[in-house]
Structure 1
C-alpha cells in the first residue's frame, strides 16, 4: 500500500510538472519567435544608430570648437571688463574725490564770498568806527566836502604787523583826514548840529611828519629784535605821508618785549617801542601790555578782508582747475561706462552663447551616450545571441524532459492500472474470502461443538475410567482381603474376577474410544489451525483493503477540502459561485492555456504593485479637497482679474496724470530756465516710452553754450537749473510751505538776485523758509532770523521784520 501511495504522489507530481513544462515550451517557442523578429529589427536599427552616432559625434566636434572659441572670446571680454571696471572704479573714485573737492571748494568759496560780502558790508557801513566818525565818513562827498577818509582806510599794513600798528595808532586809526582846517570845522559843525558824536580831524595842510632821531634810529637798527620804524612799515599814498609820519614817525617796532626793554635802555627811553604782540614801552620807561578778550578791530577786519579776497582768487582758480579735471574725468567716466556697457552686452551675449553651447554639449553628450549604450546593447544582443541559443537549448531540454515525463507517466499509468486491477481482484477475493471465512467460521463452530461433545464424552469416559479404577482398587482390596482372610470362596472370587474382566474390557473399549477421540481432536485441531491460518490471511487482505479504502477516503477528503477552499476562494476573491462561474466564464481554451494566461495576468498584477485598500476613501477626500481648491482657484482668478483690471485702471490714471503733470512741469521748467538764466533752453526727457518705468534726464543749454547733460554743468549752473525745476514744480503743484537750505550757495550775485526776486513772486501762494548766508536773498525776505554767538556756548536769536523797516526809518528821520 505504501508503493501505491508513492506511485500516486509521483503521478500527481509528474502531471503538474508536465503542465509546467508544456507552458514553458510554449513560452520558449514564443520567445524564440520574438527574438528572431527582434534580431531582424536590430540589424536595421544598428545601421540607423551607427549613422546617428556619426552625426552626433560630428555635431559634438563642431559644437566643442564653437564652444572653445566662444569661451576664449568670453575670457578675453572678461579680462577687458575687469580692466574697464578697474579703470572705471579708479576714474569714479577720482571723480568722486574731485567732486567732493569741488563741492567743498564751492562751499568754501561761497562761505568766503559770504564772509567777504559781510566784511565789505561792514566796511561800507563803517561798523567798527565810532558813531561820529561813521557819520562823517558816510557824509563824505555828500553833505561834506574835503573828507579823505579815516587813517585806517588809507594805510596798507602787512599781516604780521597788524597788531603792532593797531597798538601804536590806537584811536588814531579813526582820525579823519581832511584837506584843511576849514573842512575840519565844517565836519565838527555837522556833528554838533545833528548830535552825532565826536571825531578827530587831521588837516593835510597843517599836520607835519615826525621822525625818530638819527642816532636812535642807528642804535635801533643794530638792536636785537628790531623790525622796522612804524611809519616805514606802512604803505600809504604820498599825499598822506605826513599824516603817517606824524602818527607813527617816532615809533619803533621790535619782535617781543624783552628786546623792547633792551632797546629802550639803549636809547635811554626817549622813543615809544611796540612789539608784534602789542606790548608797548613808552618814553620814560613805562610799559603797557597784557591780555584782553579778542575783538574785531578796524585793521584786523581790513586785513582779513584783503586776505580773504586773495584766498578767494586762489580758490576760484583752484575751483576752475577742479571743474576742468572733473569734466575730463566725467567724460572719461562716461566713455568707460559706455564701453563697459558695450562690453557687458557682449559679455552677456557670449555668456548666453557659452551657456547654450554647454547645454547643447550636455544634450549631445547625453544623446551620444544613449546612442552608444543602445549600439552596445544592440551589438551584444545581435553578436552574442545568448538569449535565442539559450532559449533553444532550454526548449530542447524541456522537450526531452517532457518525453521523459510522458514515459514516466505511461509507466505510472500502467502501474496504476495494475494496482487498480489488483484492487478490483482484491475486492473480489475479499468477498470470496469473507464468504469462505463465514463458511469456515460456521464449520469451525460445528467442529468446536463436536469437540465440545467429544470432550464431554471424554470427560464422561474419564469419569467412568476413574470409577472403574476405583472399583478395581476396591476389587484388589477385596482380593487382598480375601487372600488375607482366606474366607472368600471360589465363587466369590470367580464373580469378582468376572467383574474385573468386564471392567477391563470396558476400560479397553473406552481407551480405544478415547484414542480415537484424541486422534479426531488432533485432526480437528489441525483443521482449526489451517482454518485459522486461512482466516489470518483473509484478515490481512481485509486490513490491506480497508487501509487502501481509508487512503482513498483520505484523498477524497483532501480533494473535498481543496474543492471547498477553491469554492471559498472563488467566493471571497471574485464573489462568484461555482454555477455562476460555469455559466458566465466558460472557455474553449485548454487548461494549460488558461494557466498560462493566469500566470501572465498575475505577473501583470504584481507589476501593478500593492493595492491601496483605502483608495476609495482617499479618492473621496481628495475629490472633496480638489473641489474646494478648484472653487478657491476660481475665486482667486476672479479676484486676480479684478485686481488686474483695477491695476490697469490705476496705471492708466497714473500714466495720464504723470503725462499731464510732466508736460506741464516741462513747459514751466523751460520758461523758468530762460527767466533765471536770461536765455538758453532746457528740456526734461524721458529715458524710455513707458511713463510708469521711465527715468527723467535733464538736458540744458545755458546761454552761449552747447546743449549738454546736467552733470557737465558747473556747480552754479546745476544749482540754478535745480532751482528752475523746483519753481516749475511749485508752479504746477504749489505747497503750503517749502524749506530751502542754502540752495543758492553756488550762485553768483546776479543769479542770487534773480533767484530772490522769483522767490518773492512765489511767496504769494507758498510760504518759504530759507536758510542762507547770501545778502541778496536776505534783502527780499519778509522777516530775518539771525543766530549769533557773542560768547562761547551762548547763542542768541535776533529777529527783524523787514516789512516794517521803512516805517521805522521814516519815524527815526
Structure 2
C-alpha cells in the first residue's frame, strides 16, 4: 500500500516530472545494480578465499590431528619413561639406604674389631714388655740374693744354676710351691763338692755375700713313706706330692726329690687339717693358698706384702704361652680387621657408585618429568588448537557466504527486472502520456481498494479478537453449563424414581431444548474458533519468521561468544605462560612490551633461546634455598675471617708494641749492665777493662760477646782465659747485673771453687761492698769466703744417718 501511494504520488505530478522521476529511479536502480554487482563480485571473492581458507584450515586441522596423535604417543612414552625413571630412582634410593646401612654395620664391626685388635696389641705389648723385663731380671740375676747373684755373674765352673731356674710347674701351684721351697728356691745346684767349695771361696774373696750350694754328688733323694701316701691320697682335696707336680731335667731328680719329696699339696685348709690328723701330724702339708701344716702340728700362713719374684721361669713360660695365644688372637683380629676394612672400602666404593647412579637417575627422572610436562603442555595446546579449528570448521562460513551470494544475486535479478520494467514504463511514458493518467486512475482505485481492504482487515482483526475473547468466555460458560447439566442429569436420574412420567417428559423436553440451544451455540463458537485459528496461524507464521530471524541473530551471537571465549582462552594461556615461564603478570608484560619490527626473526630468536635453555639441562629447583644456605655460611665465614683478621692485626700490633718495649728496655738495661760490668771488672781484677758487645744490629735476635782485658794482658776472648779468670769474669758480670737489677736474695753454690786464694779474698771483699738490699747465701769450702761472711752455718754427721747444724756469728765473735 505504501508502494502504491508512492507510485500514485509519482503519477499525480506532471508527466515530464514523472518522466524525470522515473529517470532518477532508473539511475538509482543502475547504481543499486552496480552496488549489488560489486557485492556479488566481493562475495564471490570472499567465497573463494573462504573456500581456500577452509581447505587450508582443513589441512591444518588434519595436521593438528596428526600432531596430536603423535604427541599423545610421545606423552605416553614420556610418561612411561618418567615412571620408569622414578621407579629406578626409588630402587636406587632403597639400594643406597640398604648399602648405607650395611656400610654402617661394617664400619661398626670394623671399629669394634679394630678396637679388639688394638687391645690385643696393647696386651701383647704389655706381655712382651713384662716378659722382656723378667728375662732381663733372669739374665742379670737381679731377683736373687747378693751371694747367688755374685756366683751366677762370675760364671764359675761346675755351677749348674739356682733351683728356681731349673723347675717348671702349673701356675696354679705357684703359691704353694713358693711356700714349699721358700729359700731353697735360691739354692745353687752345682756338679760336685769342688764346685761348691770354689764358689764359696769366691764369695769369701769378693765379700759378695752367702749362698747355699746343692752338689749332685752328695744330695740324696727323700721320699714320702708309702703308708702315708696311701692314707693321704685317699683323703678329699689331695692334689699330690710336690716333687711329682713339677718338671725338671732327669739328672736333677735327687735335688727336687730331696726338696719336695716329703711335701704334699691339698686344696683347702680344712681338707689339709683333716689329712694331717689322719697321719698324726707327721707329714708336711701345704694348701693352694699357701697355708702350711708342719710336722708336729704347727700352722703357718697369711699373705705376702709383695709378690715373690723367685720363680721367674714358670712365669716366663706362662707369659710365652699367653703371648702365643694373644698373637694368634691378634693375628685373627688383624685378618678380620683387614677383611672388614676391605669390605668397608668396597661398600664405600659401591655406595659412591650407587650415589653416582642415583644422581644420574635423578637427573634422568627430572629430565623425563620436564619432558612429560612439556609434552603435556604441547598436547593441551594442540587440543585447544584442534578444538578451535573444529569450531571454525563447524561454523560453515562457506554456506553462509553462498547463501548471501544467492540472496544478492536474487536481489540483483529482481533489480534488473525492475530496471526492465522501469525502462518499459519510461518508453511507454514517452509514447503515451495518456496512459499515465489511466495508470494514475488505476493506482488511485487500487489504493482506495487497498485502503478499504486494510481498514476491513484491521476491523476484522479487531472483531476476531473480540469474538475470540467472547467465544472463549462463552466456551467457558458452555462448559460450565454442560457441567451443570451433567450434574442436573445426575440429580434427575437420582430423582427419576420419585417423579411422575409427565413430569419426567416435561423435564426431558426442556432438557432437549436446552441441549439443542447449547449445541447450536457450540457450533457457532467452533466456527468462530476456526476463524480465530486461521488468524492465529497467520500470526504464528509471522512469529515464526521473527523467531527465525531471532535464531539467526542468536547464532551470530553464539559465534561471536565462541570467538570471544576462544580469544579469552588464548589470553589465559598466554598469561599462564607469562607467569610460569617469565614470572610476570599480563599488566607487567604489557608495560614492558616493545614493538617487534620483524615477527619472523623474533620467532626464530625465541626458538633459538628455547633451544639454548633446553640445552642447559634440568633446573635445580633447590638452587635458591641452597644459595641462601651457602650465602649465610659465606657471610658467617666472612665475619669469622674479619674477626680473625682483626685479632691478627691486634696481635701484630701487640707484638710490635712488645718488640718495641723489649727493644727499648733491653737497650737501656744492656747499656746500664755494660757500664756496671766495666766498673765491676776493674774492681774485682784490680784494673784492666771489659766490654759487652752485641753480635747483631737486631736487638731481639742478637747475641752478647764478652771481651775482657785483665791487668797486664791484651784484650782476648773469654774462651782463651784460664778457669779462674773465666770464673772471676763471670762473677763480675753477675755482680754487674745485680747492681743494675737489685735482687733481694742470692744463693751462690761454690762459685769461687776455681779461684786462687788472692782472688777468693777479692771475691769475699767484693761481697761486703754490696749494701744491705741484697742478701747472699754462699755454699763454700774456701776459708777466704768464710772469713768474709757475717754468719757461718755448718752441717756435720757425727752418727751415721744423723745430721746436725752448727752456726757461728762472726760479728759476735769479733766483738
**Class of the TM-score when normalised by the shorter of the 2 chains:** 0.3 to 0.5
The normalised TM-score by structure 1 is 0.40
The normalised TM-score by structure 2 is 0.40
Of structures 1 and 2, the larger Rg is shown by 1
